[in-house]
Amino acid sequence: MPHDAPEHVTVWEYLKARLARLWPGLPRAWAWSQETWDRWEEALRRGESVPQAEPSASPAEPRPAAHPPKSAAPSRPRPGVPSRPGSAFPWRAVLALGLALWAQALLQPPRRAWLPGLVFYGLALALWVLHLVREGRTGASQPALETQPPPFVVRTGYLLVGIPLAVAAFLLFGGNRYTGLNLLFWAGSLLCFGLAFWPRSLGDILGESYRGLRRRSWQFTLTPTIVALLLALGVAVFFRGYRLAQVPPEMFSDHAEKLYDVMDVLDGQWRIFFPRNTGREDFQMYLPALMARLFGTGISFMSLKLGTFFMGLFMLPYLYLLGRELGHPWGGVLAVLLAGMAYWPNVQARVALRFILYPAFVAPTLYHLLRALRTHRPQDYLLAGVFLGLGLHGYSPFRMVPLTVLLAVGMALAAAPRVQRTRILQGFTLLVLFSFLVFLPLFRYLLQYPHIFFYRGMTRLGQLERPYPDHPLKIFLQETWQAFIMPWWDNGQIWVHSVPGHPALAVVSASLLALGYVWALVRFGRTRDWRWVFLVLSVPFLMLPSILSLAFPEENPSLNRSAGALVPIFLLAGLALEVWARSLWTWAASRTGRRLLVGAFLAALLVLEAQHNYDLVFRRYAYEFRLSAWNTSELGAVIGGFARSIGTPERAWVVPYPHWVDTRLVGIRAGFPRRDYALPRDQLEDTLAVPGPKLFLFKPDDQETQARLQALYPQGRLWRYRSPTPGKDFMMFFVP
């Protein structure tokens, strides 16, 4: 039945009523009566009792139980939320973003006009603060923590089974091997501990699952937010997957180390910690092994790329969930869109090493942590612990995430009423317990071989490889500053995972990040919600693995070791874009032409961001990478063609030369991954005993190898392979 419009409605309720007025076939519950529409339009003409276009109530800001009387002056909107349809043009917000974009354009290489850029950024942020203060309302919001959280449940029977299973698994992990037995005990202990603390019993879970499977139909609701999220994920799939085989085009020695570990996994050597190449955690070794089996890609670059491709997508839905948890689902959608097309996470996923595992597990850890600290639901503490433990199996910089968790818990304790602090400590204990249980195999290895487990990190934090070049405190402060300005200024000089000398963010996202920082601080000033300060502080905390490279300060900033900061950075940028867009949308809410203008302007902004990121990844990064990496794919193609035509895999060799190709990669590229094609120059005489056609590849600079081959095989023929990449030619010596 048609219903009367309430005094204050959400934008979505108003849009539903407007759609039902245009298309009578829509649900009748959406519609308003004609009398209601007449009163509504009359009120709009008089400028009285105009409903506020508020988003749906968020956990942090519950909607008031009662609305003010019709004659009362409308209350001021929340910070960053538009006031009312037909409001004045938000020129401060528009000018602030325009100045920020101009400032960031001035900071782009090669011109680097830092002083004008700094001035324009200062003006932009000042205008942005004025806009937020004018649009905001005074007073603090309701506390974020629940006043009546659900009780913690402990089922001692499951604990009595789970504890001995965990102890047995710990003892059985002693040989640095996963076996069927210790995995069974480990999985059993995790299951028992989960059932011991999960709020619902096993019978309830199984019963509901059975009833769900027995249903004859399921209902799904597609809201505009979910549709927009799906579109944003589609954009991310394009940017992550487009030309995946070609960008980046080549492997380097780290890839060889990973693929040799993957071969060990496929051969049944299920290590917990892989000591090759100074030591690596286990997750990435098992992930490409799974990809190789599922997609039939074998021991190849693509097996590595597919695993990191999926992990790069895995983090994106949690960005949306984080935005929704903070009361801004549309901000979460925009964060997914910005991160999905961004150069920084795209390159970290494409390079096919462990780098993307850092943000991939930071995102779910932070989501469940913030949700747990608001609701105190045991399952969220439990899941935060699980993802924290999984992250420790990924990329070693994740070892700094427990500090970020401690920061959040400490801030929540400081802000919570005394009666809730016990609940937070109980939940934190549950989080620590489950993260430890998931980390258990690596903990066993750590106790046995601490020098191997910590070696890589201590070479950067400590002085195992070289002394500090300056006082460590001075280095730390310099590194912190360089990491902080990385999104706007310089992401470092490492061609493997970045465009050297370029800011970590494209122009639009970098500008929005600056606005997002300020908005979060203003938001905290208005609401006293500790989560906004935590979001800002989490960025340098998650950059600590890069900052703490005290012995090698030239390695900071680095996009890989600071990749966990991707999560709060793009969340802040997305939230800032939502706040800015809402201000314009409110101004345009009563005029169709204005709405089209705002939509077109927002689309142009996103297209500009997409074009910049596309250029960074598919032109500049691909070009820089090809110039810097050795062309093992071309050497491999030559040997593969020889072996499959007139020769055999055993009758081809590559003569090593200092700082040239990794000969293991040549074998992988040729399709013979277990063969290292290196043949030192002093062993060339040994090939005289090998019958049949032979092929030797060597670097053009290696004149000594050329002379020796021509002396050994006067009948041999010499060609120069002309690579399309400058400086990557190589010599081919064929013996018929």
pLDDT at 438 over 80: yes
* Residue 512: inside a domain: yes
pLDDT at 12 over 70: no
682 CB-contact burial (10 Å; exposed 0-12 / middle 13-18 / buried 19+):
exposed
Q: 545 and 605 share a domain?
A: yes
As a whole number of angstroms, the distance between CA 694 and CA 686 comes to: 12
Q: What average pLDDT score do residues 58-65 get?
A: 40
pLDDT value, residue 26: 59
Task: Report which of 250, 254, 170 is spatially closest to residue 456, judged by C-alpha positions.
Answer: 254
Q: What average pLDDT score do residues 633-655 get?
A: 96
Q: 304 and 448 share a domain?
A: yes
Q: 710 and 621 share a domain?
A: no
pLDDT value, residue 218: 74
Task: Report which of 366, 379, 381 is spatially closest to residue 315, judged by C-alpha positions.
Answer: 366
Where among 595, 627, 659 does a domain terminate? 627
Three-state DSSP class for residue 446:
helix
* Residue 265: inside a domain: yes
pLDDT value, residue 587: 84
Q: 163 and 285 share a domain?
A: no
Q: 576 and 683 share a domain?
A: no
Q: 662 and 525 share a domain?
A: no
pLDDT at 169 over 50: yes
Q: Quick one: pLDDT band at residue 111, thresholds 50, 70, 90?
A: confident
The DSSP secondary-structure symbol of 687 reads G
- Chain mean pLDDT for the chain: 89
* Residue 79: inside a domain: no
pTM of the shown model: 0.86
pLDDT value, residue 76: 42
User: For 141-159, how does the pLDDT look when each residue is reduced to its tens digit (9 = 90+)?
Assistant: 444 555 566 778 899 999 9
Spatial strand order in the sheet of 652-654: 652-654, 694-698, 730-735, 717-721
pLDDT at 34 over 80: no
Q: 342 and 487 share a domain?
A: yes
Q: Which residue has the tokens 């049949």?
A: 692
* Residue 227: inside a domain: yes
As a whole number of angstroms, the distance between CA 604 and CA 610 comes to: 10
User: For 588-623, how does the pLDDT look when each residue is reduced to its tens digit (9 = 90+)?
Assistant: 876 777 778 888 889 999 999 999 999 999 999 999
CB 193 within 8 A of CB 161: no
As a whole number of angstroms, the distance between CA 130 and CA 95 comes to: 11
Residues contacting residue 488 through CB under 8 Å, at least 6 positions apart: 104, 107, 503, 505, 510, 513, 514
% the chain with pLDDT above 70: 87
The DSSP secondary-structure symbol of 533 reads H
Where among 606, 627, 648 does a domain terminate? 627
In order of 118, 479, 482, 501, the CA distances from 486 in angstroms are 14, 10, 6, 10
As a whole number of angstroms, the distance between CA 662 and CA 633 comes to: 11
User: For 77-95, how does the pLDDT look when each residue is reduced to its tens digit (9 = 90+)?
Assistant: 444 444 444 468 899 999 9
- Record the tokens describing residue 703, joined without a space: 């004149």
Q: 127 and 263 share a domain?
A: yes
User: For 346-405, how does the pLDDT look when each residue is reduced to its tens digit (9 = 90+)?
Assistant: 999 999 999 999 999 999 999 999 999 999 999 999 999 999 999 999 999 999 999 999
Q: Which residue has the tokens 């509504």?
A: 40
Q: Quick one: pLDDT band at residue 203, thresholds 50, 70, 90?
A: confident
pLDDT value, residue 8: 54
* Residue 96: inside a domain: no
pLDDT value, residue 699: 97
Q: Which domain holds residue 697?
A: 632-735
* Strand 730-735 to 717-721 pairing: antiparallel
pLDDT at 448 over 60: yes
As a whole number of angstroms, the distance between CA 90 and CA 679 comes to: 70
CA angle 298, 304, 307 (to 5 degrees): 105
Q: 262 and 341 share a domain?
A: yes
434 or 205, higher pLDDT: 434
Q: 249 and 332 share a domain?
A: yes
Residues contacting residue 297 through CB under 8 Å, at least 6 positions apart: 291, 303, 306
318 CB-contact burial (10 Å; exposed 0-12 / middle 13-18 / buried 19+):
buried
As a whole number of angstroms, the distance between CA 564 and CA 466 comes to: 27
Q: 623 and 636 share a domain?
A: no
Structural domains counted in the chain? 4
As a whole number of angstroms, the distance between CA 243 and CA 617 comes to: 10
As a whole number of angstroms, the distance between CA 384 and CA 405 comes to: 10
CA angle 506, 509, 510 (to 5 degrees): 75
Q: 537 and 416 share a domain?
A: yes
- Record the tokens describing residue 599, joined without a space: 């939509």
Q: Quick one: pLDDT band at residue 195, thresholds 50, 70, 90?
A: very high
* Residue 70: inside a domain: no
pLDDT value, residue 25: 54
Q: Quick one: pLDDT band at residue 647, thresholds 50, 70, 90?
A: very high
* Residue 145: inside a domain: no
Q: Quick one: pLDDT band at residue 42, thresholds 50, 70, 90?
A: low
pLDDT value, residue 210: 78
Q: What average pLDDT score do residues 106-118 get?
A: 93
* Residue 69: inside a domain: no
